[in-house]
Amino acid sequence: MEYAFLDCGGGRRLERFAEAVVVRPAPGANLPPALPPENWGAADLEFTRENGWTGAPPLNWRVRIDPAVLSLRPGAGGQLGVFPEHAAVVERLAAGLDGCAPPPGGWRALNLFAHTGLTTLHLAARLELAAVIHVDAAPAALRLARKNAVLSGLNQAPIRWIADDALTFLRREARRGNTHHIIMADPPAFGRRKKGGEWRLEQDLPELLDGMVKLQSPEAGLLCLTCHSKGWAGEHLAAMMKNALPKGRRVEQMELWLQSECGGQSLMLGHAVLAGAPRRD
């Protein structure tokens, strides 16, 4: 089971999730597709804003994005329950820890707006962890993440599953005096908060970054923020991260791309900013 990004263009994207080929919207894909029409016409499922989903998903549909296995479910907004571009972010996080001796007991990781668990499961499988805390306010996403842990053979991994609002959880962790070596967040542009009210990226991002910085372990640490929202440039996100950090901390930007494996167009889906590096022995 595997994922492949095939092509994009004309406001659409063409992907293969295991045995099924899928067409979904891609507002940033403005150029014409590179692959011929017959490639697009062979899709098993297609989502459009006007008609929703057409075609039938495979039974017990799941995809392996090593080392994680994720269950797929067509959603009302065209989502399937996995964001493959996050695998590159985990690769970068793991690279930032190369050559670093884990602290006694292992790394402590915190994943906010953690969705269905791709990043959580990659970290649990690849790093020597004391614990990874997976936080998401949506009960359906949390249930699917726990199912994905079982499918991935990681149901015994040191993962804590928390149904909570990200800002509320950060405040609680700060009061408890807890810290984490690796802190990640993938906030949406807009969302409903668990106990009422709204999450708005332009309003709440400064508090999110400030809370992440306060919870970073004094021993060593990596912070990572990913953003897919339209209008948020990498430079802007990096500047906000720098503003939240102590002076002198380095911030790195990376673009989140899905690269075609068969001659199609590639697609840029957002940005990631990473701060700090663990202390090396």
What is the band of 278 on the pLDDT scale with cuts at 50, 70, 90?
Answer: very low
Is the predicted pLDDT of residue 196 greater than 80, yes or no?
no
Q: What is the pLDDT of residue 277?
A: 53
Give residue-wise pLDDT tens across range 13-40: 999 999 999 999 999 899 999 999 999 9
Q: What is the pLDDT of residue 280?
A: 45
Asked whether residue 50 falls in the same domain as residue 93, the answer is no
Q: Is the dihedral of CA 95, 244, 199, 52 positive or negative?
A: negative
Domain that includes residue 210, residue range:
86-275
In a domain, residue 99? The reply is yes
- The CATH code of the domain that includes 212 is 3.40.50.150
Is the predicted pLDDT of residue 102 greater than 90, yes or no?
no
Asked whether residue 99 falls in the same domain as residue 214, the answer is yes
In a domain, residue 43? The reply is yes
**Mean pLDDT, the chain, as a whole number?**
92
C-alpha distances (whole Å) from 250 to each of 12, 102, 224 are 36, 21, 12
In a domain, residue 281? The reply is no
Asked whether residue 144 falls in the same domain as residue 262, the answer is yes
Is the predicted pLDDT of residue 149 greater than 80, yes or no?
yes
Asked whether residue 12 falls in the same domain as residue 124, the answer is no
Of 32, 47, 71, which closes a domain? 71
Contact 69/62 with Cβ under 8 angstroms? yes
Average confidence (pLDDT) over 107-128 = 95
Is the predicted pLDDT of residue 279 greater than 80, yes or no?
no
Give residue-wise pLDDT tens across range 157-191: 999 999 999 999 999 999 999 999 999 999 999 88
Asked whether residue 13 falls in the same domain as residue 124, the answer is no
Asked whether residue 113 falls in the same domain as residue 242, the answer is yes
In a domain, residue 280? The reply is no
Q: What is the pLDDT of residue 281?
A: 44
Asked whether residue 127 falls in the same domain as residue 231, the answer is yes
Asked whether residue 46 falls in the same domain as residue 93, the answer is no
Asked whether residue 102 falls in the same domain as residue 67, the answer is no
In a domain, residue 79? The reply is no
Asked whether residue 36 falls in the same domain as residue 124, the answer is no
